[in-house]
């Protein structure tokens, strides 16, 4: 089962777990209310997986590529790591499927608190357009992930504040409508 928790406020190494003490877990229902959708798949068969195909078809995730984030494999590694961890939004959903390794996706809850989602092999997630979020590797320093997109990918990240953007306005509206 995917594990998620509220973060502490320490400015220590971003790759550490940063669990709040005492711990405050975030369950899938809470994530769902934020528009975050989670699936567990068998990453060993990602190249031929009817379950993955079903999700892609239903949600129109027609485009995909595979990114490896490690010092050796990712060009401009240090710069990218910094960019991934800046709080931002996109105009489209951010869809990631972890094939190897692990990392943390952090999302803001309704009270603007950080929830850290530990994503490892077989975990797939959709972060809705307009949600403030960020990504970091964990202390293993390695992840291989599938990036999925509905149509031609747009990678533009709008760093916070981005309140005026339509995707943000729509997302805030969505939050007021979910329980």
Question: Are 100 and 165 in contact, with CB atoms under 8 Å apart?
Answer: no
92 touches which of ligand KMT, Ni ion, none (CB within 5 to 8 A by kind)?
none
Q: How far apart, in whole angstroms, are the C-alpha atoms of residue 106 and residue 84?
A: 11
Instruction: Considering only residues 146 through 175, tell me which ones interact with ligand KMT, judged by CB under 6 A.
Output: 147
- The contact mask relative to ligand KMT for 53-72 (x = CB under 6 A, - = no) is --------------x-----
**Partner that binds at residue 36, options Ni ion, ligand KMT, none, CB closer than 5 to 8 Å by kind:** none
**Is residue 116 at the binding interface for ligand KMT, with CB under 6 A as the rule?**
no
Q: Which is nearer to ligand KMT, 5 or 84 (CB)?
A: 84
**Cα 26 to chain center, whole Å?**
15
Tally of helices (H runs) and strands (E runs) in the chain: 4, 10
Among 103, 107, 109, 123, binds ligand KMT (CB under 6 A): 103
Residue nearest to Ni ion (CB): 94
Closer Cβ to Ni ion, 94 or 138, answer by number: 94
Choose among ligand KMT, Ni ion, none what residue 101 binds, the Cβ cut-off being 5 to 8 Å by kind. Answer: none
- Among 94, 106, 109, 138, the residue binding Ni ion under the rule CB under 5 A is 94
Is the CB of 94 or the CB of 106 nearer to Ni ion?
94
**Residues 123-142 within binding reach of ligand KMT (CB under 6 A):** 135
96 Cα distance to chain centroid:
7
* Interface of this chain with Ni ion, residues 120 to 179, rule: CB under 5 A: none
Six-digit token string for 19: 């669990």
SS (H, E, C) 81-132: HHHHCCCEECCCCEEEEEEEEEEEEEEECCCCCEEEEEEECCEEEEECCCCC
- CB proximity list for 148: less than 8 A, separation 6 or greater: 56, 61, 63, 64, 95, 96, 97
> Which residues of the shown chain bind ligand KMT in the complex (CB under 6 A)?
67, 84, 94, 96, 103, 135, 143, 145, 147
């Amino acid at each position: 089962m995917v594990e998620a928790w509220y973060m502490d406020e320490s400015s220590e190494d971003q790759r550490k777990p940063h669990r709040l003490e005492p711990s405050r877990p975030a369950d899938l229902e809470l994530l769902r209310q934020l528009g975050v959708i989670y699936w567990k798949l068998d990453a060993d068969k990602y190249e031929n997986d009817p379950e993955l195909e079903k999700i892609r078809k239903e949600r129109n995730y027609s485009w995909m590529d595979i990114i490896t984030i490690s010092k050796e494999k990712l060009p401009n590694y240090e710069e990218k790591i910094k960019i991934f961890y800046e709080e931002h939004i996109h105009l489209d959903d951010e869809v990631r499927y972890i094939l190897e390794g692990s990392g943390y996706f952090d999302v803001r809850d309704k009270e603007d608190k950080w929830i850290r989602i530990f994503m490892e092999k077989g975990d797939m997630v959709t972060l809705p357009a307009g949600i403030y979020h960020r990504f970091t590797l964990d202390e293993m320093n390695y992840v291989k992930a599938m990036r999925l997109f509905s149509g031609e990918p747009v990678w533009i990240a709008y760093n916070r504040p981005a309140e005026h953007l339509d995707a943000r306005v729509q997302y805030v509206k969505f939050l007021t409508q979910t329980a």
